[in-house]
Amino acid sequence: MGLGLQEEEEFDQMKLRSLLFVPADSEKKFAKAQESRADGLILDLEDAVAPDRKAIARDMLGNIIAARPDRNWSLWVRVNALDTGLTLSDLSAIVKPGLDGIMVPKSNGAADIQRIGHYLDALEVRAGMARGTVKIIVVATETPVAMFNLGSYSPPHERLAGLTWGAEDLGAVIGSVTNKQSDGEWTQTYRIVRSMCLFAAAAADVARIDTLYADFRDEAGLASSCEASRQDGFTGRIAIHPDQVDTINRCFSPSDADLTQARRIIAAFESQPGIGTIGIDGKMYDIPHLKLAHRIVSAAG
Ligand code: COA
Ligand code: MG
């Protein structure tokens, strides 16, 4: 009320700070992944599973996904891309109570998400789930045409929970010999891709999830990379190894000082209803600061 902010609902979004990939054909890794403190696990049916293991992995997943109201992590499945012809079989096996969402790889734009949304509408009815239960995270930059359709994700599809990006698959299509400079930074091409994903996710007002950090033994490198990514505006990151999860959680959580200041800003606005600009400690704060403060408090849980 008052300032007309519609933030409350948005802040209820599932926590998507750390999302740990687990190959869907490995029960051992699934067990191990549950011991991590990842906000979400993404069971992968796509590139982490060899072609002749896909059907087995899909069957295994069907058994793994079971309603577990006590768990404090969300369960996601990365399905195979639409052009493989496998997507519908994947969805048919996994849409059941207990599934929080799917990750869609190699999306070419919002039209792909519309189509998958229709599949989900039908499969949720079959599974006795409320319509719209299954959310979608999109890997939004894996084809060249996808780069030109990033604006199509806003206004967001009702199921859209986040956007992330990938450098490997795009590189394979456009013929990049490398995506990293000698100093380990992304090349210009992939910095553009990364920023475009950030803009698209911000435009749609969904989680902005940075891509994986491949060198899973380099904790210091991961930490500084995550710090840079949080400063840019990313809200979370993909993990590929359980050892990466705590670093990611730490980097994408506000510090105590951030939190204290955010609470002060919110309290100051609440104490002066209807006022759009206030001063605290000689500094001006207006609506964008209030929004950011709400974001920070909400991210802290
Ligand atoms: N989820 C759960 N457990 C994992 C894991 C993951 N993503 N990655 C590693 N582990 C487990 C290993 O099985 C091993 O378990 P153990 O001690 O019981 O034997 C332990 O963690 C230590 O693993 P480590 O030896 O450090 O790595 P590895 O060589 O076994 O595995 C990878 C390296 C890259 C194969 C593995 O991290 C992995 O499968 N990552 C996910 C890949 C994926 O899904 N990619 C798709 C998105 S790009
Ligand atoms: Mg890939």
H or E element at residue 270? helix 256-270
Q: How many Å lie between the centroid of ligand 1 and the Cα of residue 22?
A: 8
Residue whose CA is at the smallest distance from ligand 1 atom 13? 29
> Of the bound ligands, which one is closest to the alpha carbon of residue 80?
2
The values of phi and psi at residue 53, to 5°, are -105, -5
> Of the bound ligands, which one is closest to the alpha carbon of residue 238?
1
Burial class (CB in 10 A: 0-12, 13-18, 19+), 175: exposed
Q: Each residue's pLDDT tens digit in the chain (301 positions)?
A: 333 333 333 333 458 999 999 999 999 999 999 999 999 999 999 999 999 999 999 999 988 898 666 788 999 999 999 999 999 999 999 999 999 999 999 999 999 999 999 999 999 999 999 999 999 999 999 999 999 999 999 999 999 999 999 999 999 999 999 999 999 899 999 999 999 999 999 999 999 999 999 999 999 999 999 999 998 999 999 999 999 999 999 999 888 888 999 999 999 999 999 999 999 999 999 999 999 899 888 877 7
162's CB contacts (< 8 A; 6+ apart) are 16, 137, 138, 201, 206, 207, 208, 209, 236
Start-end of CATH 3.20.20.60 domains in the chain: 5-253
What is the C-alpha to C-alpha distance for residues 245 and 241, in angstroms, rounded to an integer?
A: 7
pLDDT of residue 14: 56
Beta strands in 184-269 (DSSP E): 207-210, 236-239
- Parallel, antiparallel or unpaired: strands 278-280 and 135-139: unpaired
What is the C-alpha to C-alpha distance for residues 237 and 20, in angstroms, rounded to an integer?
A: 9
pLDDT of residue 11: 34
Pocket test for ligand 1, best of 32, 179, 211 (most atoms within 8 A of CB): 32
Ligand 1 atom at minimal distance to the Cα of residue 20: 7
- pTM flag (> 0.85): yes
Contact 112, 73 (CB under 8 A): no
Q: How many Å lie between the centroid of ligand 1 and the Cα of residue 244?
A: 11
Q: How many Å lie between the centroid of ligand 1 and the Cα of residue 7?
A: 37
**Which CATH code for domain 5-253?**
3.20.20.60
